[in-house]
Structures are given as C-alpha cells and as structure tokens.
Structure 1
Amino acid sequence: TIISQRIVDDSIPEKDLGGVIFYTGLSLALLAFHFLTMYLGVRSLSGQTQEIFRKLRSRIFHKLNFMQFRFLDTIQTGRLLSKYAFDTNNIEATVIQIVTGIIPELLRTVLLILTLAYINIWLLLIVLICIPLFAVVRVYYYRPIEDNNQAVRVAREKMTGQANELISAIKLIRGFGQESVAKEQMNLLSDQYSEMRVSQMNLNQSLGYIMFSVVTGLSLLGVGICGWLVIEDKMTMGALVALIGALPICLYPVNMLTQFSLQYLLGAESYRSIKELMDSHYVEVWTGEKLLQPMRGEIELSDVSFSYGDEGDDLAIEQLTTTIQAGEHVAFVGPSGSGKSTIVSLILGFYAPSKGEIRIDGVSQSELAIKAFRQDCAIVMQDNLLLSGTLMDNIRFGKPTASEAEVRQAASHANALEFIEALPDGFDTKVGERGVSLSGGQRQRVAIARALLRNPKILILDEATSALDYESEKSVQEAIDYLAKGRTTITIAHRLSTIRSANRILVLKQGKLIDQGSWTELSEQEGAFKELLDAHR
C-alpha cells in the first residue's frame, strides 16, 4: 500500500522510471517473502492440527469402549458413528480454516490498517466505519443459523442410525420381503434430512449474497469519499490509489469471517455433540485396581439382584446367591427371559448389580482391575462376531502376540484346522463382515479357537451350539469339551443335551434360582428341570 502511494505520488509525477522499477521489485520481493512465510507457517500448523484431531478421535473411541451398556443398549450405533466421523470432520474443518485462513488474514489486515493510518488518517476512519456494518449482519443471522445446524445434525444422526440398523438387518429384510417397508423408512428420514439441508443452504447462501453486496457497496462508498477528499486537497491521489487497493483487502477478512461463521456454527454444534458424549456419566463404574495373580476362577454371587431399568423395577435377577468353585463346570438353564445371559453380563462386569455383591476369588468385583480380570476370561456365544479380516486375524484376536504355530494348534483343538486348510487361502482367507462367508458351525469353531488361544481361567459358553445342525453341533461340542477342561466354565444352555457333563446345573425362573443339582439328581426328581427335559424330548 505504501509502495503504491510512493509510485503514484513521487515516482510518476517526477517521471522517475528507476523509482518505479525499484518499488515494483520491492513489491515482488515482499510478496515472495509473504508467500514463503505463509507456506511454512501453514504447513507447520496443519501438521500440529492433524495430530490434535488424531488424539481427539482416539479419545472418542476410548470413551465409547468404556461406555455403560445401559447407554449403548439405548442408542443406535449409527448415531455414535455420526459423532465419531461427521462431527470430528466438522470441528477439524473449522480449526483448519482458523489456522490457515482467519489468523493469517487478520494479521495482514491489522498491518494494513496501521499502514493506512500512517498514510492518511482519513483512510483509517473510512475502514473503521465500514467494518462494524459486517458485525451487524453477522449477529442478525447467528441464531437462525445455529438452530438450523442443530436440526441438521439431529436429522443426520437419525438417518445414519437407521441406515446402519437396516443394512445390518438386510438378510432379515429380504427374508421377510420387507424391502419396500425398509425403503420407506429410509426415504422418510432421508427426506427430512434433505429438507433441513436445503433450509441450511438457503440460509447460508442468503448471508453470502448480502455480504457480497455490502462489500461492493462499501468499496464504492469508500472510493467516492476518498475522491471527494482528493478534490478538497485533503488526500493525495496516491492515497486514493492505496485505498482502492487496500479496502478490498481490509474487507476481505471481514467477509471471510462472515463465511467462516457458517463453518464455525457447524463446528460449534459438532463440538456440543461430542462434548455431550465426552461429558457423559454413562461410563463403567469400575475403579478398582486389584490384580488376581494368578486368578483361580472362583465366582461368588451373594444376594445379587439386577434390573435393566433405572428405577429398579422388573428385576431380571432377584436375590441370587451361589458359589462357582474354581475349575467347576456350572450350567444355567431356564425358559427364555429367566435371566441366564444377564448373569453372564453381571459376572463380566458389563452391568453392576442393583443390589448384592459379586466376588472373584474372594475379592469384591468393585475392587478388581476389571480390564485385567476380563483378560482372563473368554466367551463363546450363539452368534459369534468375527471381524472383517482374515481367519488368522480373528483367531489371533484372543492373543495378539500368538505365533502362527500357536494359532494352528488352537485351530486344531477346536476342530477348525481341517476346514481352514481346505480353503484356497487357508488362514489368510478373508471372512467378510461379521464372518458372513463362513457357515454357522465354522464360525463357532473359529470362536472356540480364539478362546483356546486366550487360555482363560473362566470360560463362558452362551448357547454356543443352539443354532447348529447335528453334525456341526457334534464337532463343536467336542471342541467345547476340550476347551472346558480344567477351567471354571459357565454354560448357558438351550439344548439340555449339551450340559450332561456339567458338575452342577442351576435352574432359573423369572430371575430366581429355584433348583440346582447334577444332571442325574435333577432328571430323576419332579421339578422345573424335569419339566424342561420333558419339553425337549
């Protein structure tokens, strides 16, 4: 700006070509220096910004890993994914715009305003009059945009949550021929989201058009005022040229701030969304630090009651007292809804008892380092989740440091080695999401191999063979019998034939323990177990 004034007021009137060349060269040199410093600064700040958001995503995922199941049971997975992906991206875009755009432009504007004040005080007054007008427009639009962004965020979370749920249930949808129903549900949420987005875009565009008009009008007004000052000999022509060049540069950051405010409001709404998650008190209650070295595997439930509701109504488990000795094989049986799987969730610490106490090797569950305790446990479920990697990855999930030989040995004992080696890629076979490329029996044997590799002290079998055909069940049951040797084993049984080898059978009804004993004892006496046995015959 000063250079432009010097050229117009000094070099041109004196026809000093050398001065013009000098000032032009100086301008180019300053421009190159400005570009270099901006490039290096932005590059450095960009790297630091990405590191910050890498840590933020890590913290969010860590938080999700330790959220209470009471919370996770009531929220759609897609809504959590929206917070993890979309909201972090919005905040990232906001911070990047601040770092790479707003801060450099503000610094440049401050220097430019000081330069204008040095050239002519009237220039400073004109710029300072123009800037507040932007703030008025910005404040007027703030609340509508903020409310609209919140509505868009909520609509997006609902849409992604429903999409995740329906995609996960695609086989169920096709099996029942309900494609049109699922499509209608998604279209409804998609339409609602689109309406919110259209409203958001219209609001943002209207602000952009208004700001463009204001910038253009103020620039013309500034030039007109300066023209009058030149005529009145209160300003030189060079100062006018300087203002013509400087005013758009001064107003650009203000206009940029207005555009940034749109991104800022998006980022602010996403920040509130993530803060809501990070500040949530729905985290696991376990704070104990005691380690069991080594753990024997004795489990004692003392007067344990539990309700899934916050009010303590509708008890899933009521005043349950029993002791499972280390190395004992105990089976829980009972009709659906009797509380069998709830007991497993309580033992693993997925939920805390509403009343009573659980002790492991004589130590209260509340005093245990719960993560270390779980590392000595393994669970094989009816519908085992396999990750979308290779068979080697899935088995090694039980013990990430295991060698290939250890994995093969575990697969052999789980009766899985034969079918794995028959596959074209063997252990490198991709199993697909949730293991869809494998049969039910194959998935179960991979899950058993995973549990074997872990070498747990406590083994939990949650209806591990109930969904299998006879041949698959026989192979899986042989693997389970091998896996259960010498370990505290808890079996949740649907098929009663699978628990003949249990040392003790506990019969549940509506969350209460109503009978217990060995297979022989219970099958020979009248009672709930004999009724279940007769019903299965």
Structure 2
Amino acid sequence: MRRGAGNQEDRPTSRQVGALGALWPFVRPYRLQVMLAMLALVVTSGISLILPLAARRVVDNFDDGAGLLDRYFGAALLIVAALALGTAARYFFVTRLGERVVADIRKAVYARVITLSPAFFERVMTGEILSRITTDTTLIQSVVGSSLSIALRNMLILAGGMAMLAWTSVKLMAMVLLIVPAILIPIILLGRRLRALSRANQDWIAASSGTASETLLAAQTVQAYTAEARSIARFDEVTEQSYGVARTRIATRAVMTAIVIFLIFAGVIGVLWIGARDVQEGAMTAGQLVQFVIYAILVSSATGALSEIWGELQRAAGATERLAELLSAEDTLVDPPHPQPLPQPLRGQIALQGVGFRFPTRPDAAALDVIDLTIRPGETVALVGPSGAGKTTVIQLIQRFWDPAEGRVTLDGIDLRDLARTDLRGQIALVPQDPVIFAASAAENIRLGRPEASDAEVQAAARAAHAHEFIAALPQGYETALGERGVMLSGGQRQRVAIARAMLRDAPILLLDEATSALDAESESLVQAAVNRLAQGRTTIVVAHRLATVKQADRIVVLDQGRIVATGSHDQLVAEGGLYARLARMQFTDGPGRQGDPALARTA
C-alpha cells in the first residue's frame, strides 16, 4: 500500500475476474437467498427460450383457424406473466443480496482498519481508505446486486439459445459458430486492458479522495496560510489524472463495443440471408426461420450483454482486490494467541528495560536510544525535554501503539507483548495534547471514557474537570452536538472535555501528554487541581513544559535525543545545572504567567 496513486505498478493486478472469488465468504451466509435467486434466474431464462417456439407455431399454423391462434396467444400471455413474476423475484433476491453483502464488507473492512496500529496509517491516507469503503464497495454492490445475475442469465440464454439454434437448423448453427470466435477475441484482448485501466482509475479516485480529505480537515490552516490556490491545483492535478485514465478506459470500452456489435449483427445478417434463401427453396419453413431469427437475436443480445458486463466484472475484480488488501493487511502489532491476564488488583508499575526504538518511516534516527526507566505504583513522573527528545514516544510505547525494537516494556512485571491490547488499554486513561472531540453530544464525548456511565457520573466528571459550566451553557446542555472535531469549543474547552473523559474512565494508569497546554492561566489552575486529585493513588506519567505541572511530580525525567540525561526532583535538577536548569531559567525569564520555554512547548 502507499499514500498516493502515483505508482500504479506497486499494486498487484490480476488478469481475470477470479479475484471476485474473495467475495464468497461474504455471500456464503446467505446461500438460501442465492438459491432462490438462481431458481428465479433459471425460470426466467427458460421462459425466454420457450417464446421463440410459440412464435414458430403461430407462424406455421397461421391458416389453421382463429381458435388455435387464440389458444397460442393465450398461452403466450401466461408465459409473459410468468416471465414478469420470475424477473421481479430475481430482482428482489439478487438486489437484496447485493445490499446485504456490501453492508457486511463495509463493516468487516472498517472493523479491520480501526484496529490497525499507527504504522499502517503512516503508509495509507485516511481518504484512500474511505474511498475503498465507499467507491469500491459501490462497484461490488452493482456487480453482486445486478451485473452478476444478468451475466448468469445471459450465459444460460446463450447456452440454451445455441442448443435451440442447432435443433432448428444445424447448417445455420454451424455458420453462427464460425462467428463466435471472432466476437470473443476482441472481448478477451480488450477486456484485459480494461481491467488494468479500471484498477488504475479506482486508485486515482482514492488518491483524489485522500487529497480532499487531508485539506478539508485542515481548511482553516490552508486558509490561514493562503494556500487555497495550491490546494486547488493539487486536487485538480490528481482529479485530472483520474479523468485521463477514465477517458482511456471509456475509449477502450467504446472500441470494444463497436467491434463486438458490428461482428454480431453482421453475422446475423449473413445467417438471415442464407436462411431466407432456404425458405425460398423449401428447405425450411417460415416458422423455423422466424424461430431461428429470434434465437439468433437472443444469442447475439446475450453475447453483447456479456461483453458489456465483462468490463463491469473486471472493474469489480479490481475493487475486490483493493478491499481484500485492507482485510488481509498485516499489522505490525499482534496480540499473543493466549494473552496473559492482568493481575487484580493492578499495582500499576511500569518499566522500560533497555528500550530502543526507531520509527519505520525514519529508520536512521533513534527515537529512543536504549533507555531504562521504572515508574513505581502510584508515582507521578514528569517527562521533560526539547522537541524530538522522545517523550511522546514513551507514552505511545506504554499504550503499545508500537513495540520496541530492543528491550521490553512491562506492566507489573508482564511484558506488554504478552497482554491483549484491549486489556492493557482498558487500564489506561489518556489526555493528549490535541484532544479528539467527535461530532457527537458533549455527554457522548465524555462517556467515551466509560460507555456504561450514568448521566450523573458524566456530569460529576465534567464538574471535576471544570467543564460543567460551559457545557451547561450550550444550547442543549450535555446533549448539544459539538460538531466535527469539536469546532463549537475553544481549545481549552476541548482539553477539559478530554480531562473529564479520563476522569470518568477512572483507570489505574494516567497519561497526560501536555494536558494543560491549551489552557489560560485561570483555567490551568482549576484543571491542575482536578488533575492532582485524579492522579492520587494512580501511576501518572506527565509530558509537560510548565513548571506548575513539573514541580509537583514525584520525579522528573529529562530526555534529550532519545536518552535519559537526568532524573530527580525540580530542586535537585536545578541545582545540578544542565539541560533542565537551562530550560527552567528560560521559563522563569519569560515569567510565571507566560507560556514558557519554546523548546519545552514543542513536545515530541
């Protein structure tokens, strides 16, 4: 996988529609619907093949009296009614099956992607994933819910029609067989080209969605830097690439359609010419010729329809491959086959033992360079250091978003790799530097910490985080939707909602990654008091730059370039001099009410 669509060759391609076989696990649970659809399909195909026989009898017995004709036309009306009912049944079962299968695929893809570790999202844009879940599944829905059944129906009509052609006139049938290879050759040759173009077109659509998603989510930043024109130009370029591939695909399919239609109808005209001569010479009846003509039309229509559907199947095969890539994506993190249970009650001792780590996208730079750190149960440890020192990396390793390349991270003496990730993260409450607020109500955003919490517990958590006042002032109070990414709230308000979420979770381990960075001085003092209460009796790790937070920690760990360069209390580290003392002096110089040292403000 990759972040864009610039290199089409790095995606595996299949030369046949066999890739659609990957849909079978999603179709299998609905075998009864498939059987009912197939039954309706066989019935309607059979009825279509009976109609020419009725037409022959009408023509050959036209002079045998009105009563016989009435019976023939009455029977034809019944046949048409059966055809209508069978077609309606086929549509119902097949279309419902398509909707059901696509819904299951979307659920399966989302359920797989949402569990993947951050390493996956470093390689694939979110917009591309969304394109696969929407655009690609729409193609599959079209195939499963329509094209596939139409293809099977036309294959039955083609096979039955060829048999009936042979029964009607072996001579004319032999001529038809001479035409078939000439029709199939362009379908096969141009069909392969169509499949490759369809796959490329879908890739560019995904890249276009990824580009749009990325810039729209950061629309204010784009506008603040007057980068609208560049964003538009970038999106236009990707969209035009998509259009260019689509134009080539459309032209190829148009050429194939023209060739196939010409060969089909030229062959039919030739066969009709010979058949008409045979009727003149008495070698066959007019009814037989009419019957043969209708069967020839059915066969030619079925062949033409199959050539059209073949292109759709090829596009769906490409879409299926792309979705299968997501479903089979290998995660760099896996839970052990038999996870070790966490001790109850959990003490909360965290240890990093000889931990070394490099991000996959930056293998030449060590994010952490063999560090040892033990955090005792109930201890509050502050991580301090300049940008890129490795502070947030430590937080991520403790949550097991990454595994260390060297050493190990343990919780109460158990290697995190021996635990189920859901068990581990269920014991952790996180307040990130940039809190995520969902487009849901304030209550639902706080309840993310503990979904089963009551309204009273949600409000108690909000009060403890000093968020109750501004939430209660919203138009619908706690039921007010906060908008995408919490656009209705200020930065400090979003932070307090995140703190309320962590308080509601009531986990034994608390991770605070710049939890007060977006707060003004008054809000910071209120929230700091709430955080202090929250941290009591919990193992707490704080990434912070403000001395109000750092000074109250039991221990301060100073990181620089992935190494621990100093450990101690605030007074000890200031007395020792070094990096911490320099950073502290810079913050004191700025003044106690200011944001503090820029080097500390930018966290890793």
Name the TM tier (shorter chain).
over 0.9
Partners of 2:547 and 2:384 in 1: how far apart?
8
Shift of residue 326, structure 1, vs aligned partner? 1.7
Partners of 2:169 and 2:266 in 1: how far apart?
22
Q: Which runs of 5+ in 1 are unaligned?
A: none
Shift of residue 170, structure 1, vs aligned partner? 1.1
Matched, 1:482 2:533: yes
Match of 1:397 in 2: 448
243-252 or 43-52: bigger deviation: 43-52
| CA displacement, residues 17-55 of structure 1 (integer Å, 9 cap, x when unaligned) | 111111111112112112212322332233233222222
Matched, 1:230 2:274: no
Contact 1:334 1:507 in 2 (8 A): yes
Match of 2:354 in 1: 303
| CA displacement, residues 430-484 of structure 1 (integer Å, 9 cap, x when unaligned) | 1111001101111111111111111111111111112332223223323322222
Match of 1:193 in 2: 242
- The code of the aligned residue for 2:95 comes to S
Shift of residue 290, structure 1, vs aligned partner? 1.8
Match of 1:432 in 2: 483
Partners of 1:341 and 1:486 in 2: how far apart?
23
| CA displacement, residues 59-118 of structure 1 (integer Å, 9 cap, x when unaligned) | 211221232322212322111212222122222222223443112232233333333333
- The code of the aligned residue for 1:13 comes to D
Match of 1:148 in 2: 197
Matched, 1:518 2:569: yes
Partners of 2:576 and 2:120 in 1: how far apart?
43
- Say which SS state the counterpart of residue 398 (structure 1) adopts: coil
Partners of 2:346 and 2:173 in 1: how far apart?
77
- The code of the aligned residue for 1:177 comes to T
Contact 2:442 2:482 in 1 (8 A): yes
Match of 1:252 in 2: 301
Partners of 1:188 and 1:119 in 2: how far apart?
58
Partners of 1:235 and 1:296 in 2: how far apart?
95
Give 1:460-499 correspondences, 5 Å limit: 460-499=511-550
Partners of 1:222 and 1:393 in 2: how far apart?
72
Match of 2:552 in 1: 501
Identity %: 32
Shift of residue 8, structure 1, vs aligned partner? 1.2
355-364 or 271-280: bigger deviation: 271-280
Give 1:8-157 correspondences, 5 Å limit: 8-9=59-60, 11-14=61-64, 16-157=65-206
Partners of 2:301 and 2:458 in 1: how far apart?
63
> Which of 405, 421, 444 is the equivalent residue of 1:370?
421
| Equivalent pairs, count | 535
260-269 or 349-358: bigger deviation: 260-269
Change (3 A) 1:294 1:113: farther
367-376 or 337-346: bigger deviation: 367-376
Match of 1:332 in 2: 383
- Say which SS state the counterpart of residue 408 (structure 2) adopts: strand
Partners of 1:3 and 1:368 in 2: how far apart?
72
- Say which SS state the counterpart of residue 557 (structure 2) adopts: strand
- Say which SS state the counterpart of residue 226 (structure 2) adopts: coil
> Which of 567, 571, 580 is the equivalent residue of 1:529?
580
| CA displacement, residues 196-218 of structure 1 (integer Å, 9 cap, x when unaligned) | 22222222222223333233322
| TM-score, reference length from structure 1 | 0.95
Change (3 A) 1:312 1:174: closer
Contact 2:161 2:296 in 1 (8 A): no
Match of 2:497 in 1: 446
260-269 or 50-59: bigger deviation: 50-59
- The code of the aligned residue for 2:585 comes to D
345-354 or 465-474: bigger deviation: 465-474
- Say which SS state the counterpart of residue 379 (structure 1) adopts: strand
Partners of 2:176 and 2:67 in 1: how far apart?
32
Change (3 A) 1:489 1:119: same
Contact 2:179 2:263 in 1 (8 A): no
Change (3 A) 1:41 1:97: closer
Partners of 2:355 and 2:547 in 1: how far apart?
25
Change (3 A) 1:103 1:132: same
Partners of 2:534 and 2:270 in 1: how far apart?
85
Change (3 A) 1:199 1:466: same
50-59 or 285-294: bigger deviation: 285-294
- The code of the aligned residue for 2:341 comes to L
Q: Which runs of 5+ in 2 are unaligned?
A: 1-51, 589-604
Change (3 A) 1:45 1:193: closer
Contact 2:97 2:144 in 1 (8 A): no
| TM-score, reference length from structure 2 | 0.85
Match of 1:289 in 2: 339
Contact 1:46 1:99 in 2 (8 A): no
Match of 2:215 in 1: 166
- The code of the aligned residue for 1:25 comes to G
319-328 or 147-156: bigger deviation: 147-156
Quote the RMSD (CA, aligned, Å): 1.9
Match of 1:319 in 2: 370
Match of 1:175 in 2: 224
Partners of 1:133 and 1:455 in 2: how far apart?
73
310-319 or 160-169: bigger deviation: 310-319
